[in-house]
Amino acid sequence: MSSWCDKLASVPAAGFRMSSHHFATSTRILDCLAPILDRHVDDGQTAFSVDLPGEYSVNVKTNSGFAIGVDSERVHVTFHHMMRPKAVSGGPPIMEMLSTPLPYTKLLPEVVERLIDATLLVPNTDGRGVNRMGIMTVTHVSEDELPPGIEKLISHFGAPWSQGLSAYTFQVCAVLDTSQNYEDRCVYTVLKSEKKKDLLNVQFDYQRIFDDFRSVDRDVLNKDMHALSHEALKHFEKIAVGDMFDASSFVGPND
């Protein structure tokens, strides 16, 4: 499935929330993640870095662009483009791309795969599981390249002010669907700086919250995340088209 996220070079993130806390030390978490870290070696050199860890949390950034975060309750993987300066003979350094710039719909399955790999390794998953799953799209875009639906959403919030909005930050959390054993919702966040040269930051976070927890099992998590990815992408497209933001859709309780 192609997506407006591909056209606008959006980047993905995905995460799990566990059903209960477990306060493993950062050293133990890193030891558990060693099978993943062992794969990130380039020409004999370490191809990852570890942010200054918290007492019970770690965040690992790989040169390939995938950042893995683990704390007492959450596991998440985010993709960021990674670059580094490269020396050039007879000239100033140039920036070298370390990560591979792929479309959103190609990066998302890789993010999900790494998320599941990491979750299977976190300490003490016996007796606890995953009770929330999320898929996020993060897009930096100029106002004149916004998908129609997002433009309509911003216009709706700015409608009371005839001179328009010079800067804004708004977030909406909406329940989308409720079934017998889970609830789907999406958190929409849009930020615009007062600096005219800055791009808009548009984030959609599609979440599925289970009444009970899902087992930390590769087949179970793969199946659930495949289904969630499909629903998230479908919803992101619906938002981008924007029919739901037409004026006729905004009907008050007494209309």
Q: Tens of pLDDT along 7-20?
A: 999 999 999 999 99
What pLDDT does 255 receive? Answer: 45
Q: Tens of pLDDT along 58-107?
A: 999 999 999 999 999 999 999 998 877 888 888 888 887 787 889 999 99
DSSP state of 195: S
Mean confidence (pLDDT) of the chain: 90
Q: CB of 57 within 8 A of CB of 29?
A: yes
- Beta-carbon contacts of residue 231 (< 8 Å; ≥ 6 apart): 184, 206, 208
The three-state secondary structure class of 178 is: strand
Query: What pTM does this model have?
Result: 0.89
CA-to-CA distance for 108 and 47, rounded, in angstroms? 21
CA-to-CA distance for 221 and 215, rounded, in angstroms? 8
Strand-pairing partners, residue 191, are: 169, 201
